[in-house]
Amino acid sequence: MTGHADHASRDGGGHEHGHAHAPANFGKAFAVGIGLNVAFVLIEGVYGVLSNSLALVADAGHNLSDVLGLAVAWAAAVLGKRAPTPRYTYGMKGSSILAALFNAVILLVAMGAIAWEAVRRFGEPAPVAGTTVMVVAGIGILINGITAWLFASGREGDLNVKGAFLHMAADAAVSAGVVVAGLLIALTGWRWLDPVTSLLIAAAVVWSTWGLLRDSVRMSLAAVPPGIDPDAVRAHLRGLEGVTAVHDFHVWPMSTTEVALTSHLVRPDGTDDAFLIRAARELRDRFGIVHVTLQVETSEATACALAPDGVV
């Protein structure tokens, strides 16, 4: 028996598939957003060096991470649409997890280098062209604002698009902070404001990136995704009609947007397609688990090598 979102087989396996990728019509938004931000990273990096502003260089590094983030979201949308192969039976969905982990590590290393240079500059303050800093950061507000606007219409219905929108909107706010620092430097001549601003930017990036690093490491280790209570899911399965026991229970991320579940259910009355389809739909609707595989056994006395919870 098959349906648009549910599949069930007579050997006791039920399957449901769901997808949460960026719509095809956002491909142009990703391309334009990446193009604008690459151009701005080059402008900000060059003028950061010419104006001797570590704050601009730090923000350029931050905006480079935005380019990587947009590219990852776009790549995940494209790769997620590829059909499974005999070797990659889930397709390429997991590539988004590896990309997120790579981006988090590279960004943390870059911010560490910037923080080191900022601390060094406290002992050797250098003159900074405050007006140049304000103008370049002002361009950043414009570019980040435009990029956020490109994704605004899809932020409610797609997590990838929503992430891109929130990231770019936050960057517009960071660029506004750099403008304020440049203004204060131009008015007061306080050179120490530049390394202080760069440290604040680095701290903000590390704060937001730490969560990305933590979640991507957990996902790469097939941990239960945030927002899903495994005890609640297990209790739900145990409460299904006719089910007397649950074992070999696993919940893990297939990608940064999709969750899978496999479990053995003991159901003395046996199973049918309707039970499997209903169970899969309930798991999708209640917990957002889109790929469900259930194996039904008819007797608790039947030896199952995977019955103890400690067995993987």
> pLDDT tens, position by position, for the chain (312 residues)?
333 334 433 344 444 444 444 444 577 788 888 888 898 888 888 888 887 777 677 778 777 877 877 887 787 777 777 888 888 888 887 877 777 777 777 777 777 877 887 787 777 666 666 677 788 878 888 888 888 888 777 655 555 566 677 667 767 777 777 787 778 877 887 778 777 877 887 787 788 778 778 888 888 898 998 889 999 999 999 999 999 999 999 999 888 778 999 999 999 988 889 999 999 999 999 999 999 999 999 877 665 766 666 565
Torsion of CA 82, 96, 148, 173, to 10 degrees: 180
- Asked if 53 and 31 touch (Cβ cutoff 8 Å), the reply is no
Neighbouring-strand partners of residue 262: 250, 293
Residue 249: per-residue pLDDT: 94
pTM of the shown model: 0.69
**DSSP structure string for 40-96:** HHHHHHHHHHHTT-HHHHHHHHHHHHHHHHHHHHHHHHHHTTSPP-SS-TTTTTTHH
